A and B are shown apart, each in its own frame.
Chain A
């Protein structure tokens, strides 16, 4: 342990250049902070106040009242008002799904089962049926849609991605070619083109009487897109597993399929966790793109909330900052949970010979 004075001297003032940098940065921070604090907190308008209160402090105070005024629309969008408690509960369950990975005891098959159960429950809450009134997916919106697209997307993309990664290494030349073309194509194009394809071309490629909601089309597009990235993540993990593991499994009499399932894949997935977590974070951020095909996710709801109301329109910055904060909290939580999962799994590795 180093004394405070020595730490300051070592990390902040070690060399003359270092001292200059420290002083410059400190002055910059000290110069900005009062102005920022005044705008964000001291002069800001909090709570459910009318727009006129905000107009009074415009320019020197933030108008956080816009969040209070528009919160309902931002979180729920067009969901019917009497049933919004269901959407709120769904959001809670979906957040719990993400949090499941934070408990070391739940990082097993049982945890996956719990996560699936929570997800299914949240879909039931949003859709209705079995005792709840039906709400068509065209009316779903806001934070529930964002989380749904991300979590269900990841859940379905994962098995598809693993299958693609295995297919890419398969001995069957046609299967290998198919997987390679699929992965390289979907990784080489922007998500927007995939969303366009799903939304516009879906209607063309299926018979006229088969109608699929916009939300389902977006979900399928997202699943197919993320699967390609997960395939690469798993492929990277597979490459780090030594051939010796496979030979040892064979020597023990395991068939190819058993060796893959019980020996190779668990190790490969362990190594692929950082890449998979990054994929999930990107997915949470990419759900905001469904605005392009007019699906009411959280980002679109925030945008519409301020755009359509003339008295709150000047305060779009505060509204966007609020939505940025919400996304940041989720993404940061996922990245921290991912780090803890990584650490947990690498301890399991270290205990081996």
Chain B
């Protein structure tokens, strides 16, 4: 490309970006005008104001008198809690399903296949609504809770577990039924349970496909070599196939973890106070929509970037170990 060509390219680029700049200026101009007309202050100053709304549950201490900033942190903690538990459960169930799909037992592989085909083709929102309905309407009332010894009680109010006591650190406190509810222990609300179960069963179907794809990508020669060394199918799976498959699994698996974290935002539909739910309430109360949405996007983008970075580091380590 000669000088003339480069000049032409430069002119085209300049034209394109002038257009983009013009559109942006128009948009921002409108925004400032409209905000001024409604008397809304831009800027993140509102974060220090008192929030004035309660959260149904929170991992960190939070009350209505705390600031909006603290409300956001509480919402984030809830999102992280639900996502972390969901990721662990989804990975476990998904790996089991993926391995079962490749089983030589026709019944096992067909049943696993049916699970994947059903769960993948149904909207997550509907699955969550069904699980929420199950956990709030179809479970017994507190007095007739399902009990596992005296360690765990499952009822309409949620799952109450024996937990570390707040008063006597180091001691485990068992829940005791007093009047209309349990005292002591830790309560996992029906919203939390529905969200965790819904997210993990849904994502497990996708994890199963990722694991299956990874296992199928292992070269047959490796498996033949393992068999000729006398390893049983189970030993071959554990020591040869899974480690080699891990390389093909890591990237799409991280992508599924990310999807699960993003899907946790559906919590707003069943009343679990996650980050999006808090942002929604804040937007409605203060009108600071731009700031709230920017916070939301910044948080989710950071989580995406962090997970992608971890995955890149792992891949680099794995590639360094590769002999071929």
The CA-CA distance from A192 to B279 in the complex, in Å, is 12
What's the minimum C-beta distance from B303 to chain A, rounded to whole angstroms?
8
Q: Is B266 an interface residue (CB 8 A)?
A: yes
Stretch at the interface among B50-58, B115-123, B183-191, B314-322: B115-123
Residues of chain A within 8 A (CB-CB) of B33 are: 207
Contact, CB under 8 Å: A335 / B121: yes
Interface residues of A in 1-59 (CB under 8 A from B): 11-12, 14, 18, 21-22, 25-26
What's the minimum C-beta distance from B76 to chain A, rounded to whole angstroms?
14
Cβ-defined partner of A292 (8 Å) among B30, B118, B268, B305: B268
Interface residues of A in 177-215 (CB under 8 A from B): 178, 184-185, 187-193, 196-197, 200-201, 203-208
What's the minimum C-beta distance from B72 to chain A, rounded to whole angstroms?
14
Contact, CB under 8 Å: A317 / B107: no
Stretch at the interface among B192-200, B236-244, B288-296: B288-296
Residues of chain A within 8 A (CB-CB) of B111 are: 25
Cβ-defined partner of A327 (8 Å) among B123, B263, B296: B123
Contact, CB under 8 Å: A205 / B31: yes
Question: Binary interface profile of B, 106-142, with partner A (CB < 8 Å = 1, else 0)?
Answer: 1110010000011011111111011001100110000
Residues of chain B within 8 A (CB-CB) of A289 are: 125, 266
Residues of chain A within 8 A (CB-CB) of B247 are: none
The CA-CA distance from A332 to B35 in the complex, in Å, is 46
Residues of chain A within 8 A (CB-CB) of B108 are: 21-22, 25
Contact, CB under 8 Å: A201 / B290: yes
Q: Is B304 an interface residue (CB 8 A)?
A: yes
Cβ-defined partner of B122 (8 Å) among A193, A200, A292, A327: A327
Chain B residue with the shortest CB-CB distance to A289: B125
Q: Is A301 an interface residue (CB 8 A)?
A: no
- With A25-B111, A175-B16 known as contacts, the answer to whether A11 contacts B123 (CB < 8 A) is no
Residues of chain B within 8 A (CB-CB) of A335 are: 121
Contact, CB under 8 Å: B265 / A190: yes
Q: Is A295 an interface residue (CB 8 A)?
A: no
What's the minimum C-beta distance from B317 to chain A, rounded to whole angstroms?
23
Contact, CB under 8 Å: B304 / A291: no
Contact, CB under 8 Å: B124 / A324: no
Contact, CB under 8 Å: A291 / B269: yes
Q: Is B297 an interface residue (CB 8 A)?
A: yes
Question: Binary interface profile of A, 326-338, with partner B (CB < 8 Å = 1, else 0)?
Answer: 0110011001000
Q: Is B166 an interface residue (CB 8 A)?
A: no
Residues of chain B within 8 A (CB-CB) of A208 are: 34, 37
Residues of chain B within 8 A (CB-CB) of A12 are: 105-107
- With A11-B105, A201-B293 known as contacts, the answer to whether A189 contacts B129 (CB < 8 A) is no
Stretch at the interface among A103-111, A157-165, A238-246, A280-288: A280-288
What's the minimum C-beta distance from B155 to chain A, rounded to whole angstroms?
18
Q: Is A303 an interface residue (CB 8 A)?
A: yes
What's the minimum C-beta distance from A105 to chain B, rounded to whole angstroms?
27
Residues of chain B within 8 A (CB-CB) of A172 are: 9, 12-13, 16
The CA-CA distance from A299 to B266 in the complex, in Å, is 14
What's the minimum C-beta distance from A110 to chain B, rounded to whole angstroms?
29
Chain B residue with the shortest CB-CB distance to A314: B137
Residues of chain A within 8 A (CB-CB) of B124 are: 285
Contact, CB under 8 Å: B296 / A193: yes
Q: Is B280 an interface residue (CB 8 A)?
A: yes
Q: Is B147 an interface residue (CB 8 A)?
A: no
Question: Binary interface profile of B, 98-110, with partner A (CB < 8 Å = 1, else 0)?
Answer: 0000011111100
- With A11-B104, A323-B126 known as contacts, the answer to whether A178 contacts B20 (CB < 8 A) is yes
- Name, among A187, A189, A299, the residue most crowded by chain B CB atoms within 10 Å (CB to CB): A189
- Name A's B-contacting residues (CB within 8 A): 11-12, 14, 18, 21-22, 25-26, 171-172, 174-175, 178, 184-185, 187-193, 196-197, 200-201, 203-208, 281, 284-286, 288-289, 291-292, 299, 303, 314, 316-317, 320-321, 323-324, 327-328, 331-332, 335
Q: Can you report 12 A-B residue pairs in the complex whose CB atoms are below 8 A from each other?
A: A11-B106, A21-B103, A174-B17, A175-B16, A185-B297, A190-B262, A192-B266, A196-B293, A289-B125, A289-B266, A299-B123, A321-B130
Known: A11-B106, A18-B104, A172-B13; 5 extra A-B contacts, CB below 8 A, are A21-B105, A22-B105, A174-B13, A317-B133, A328-B122
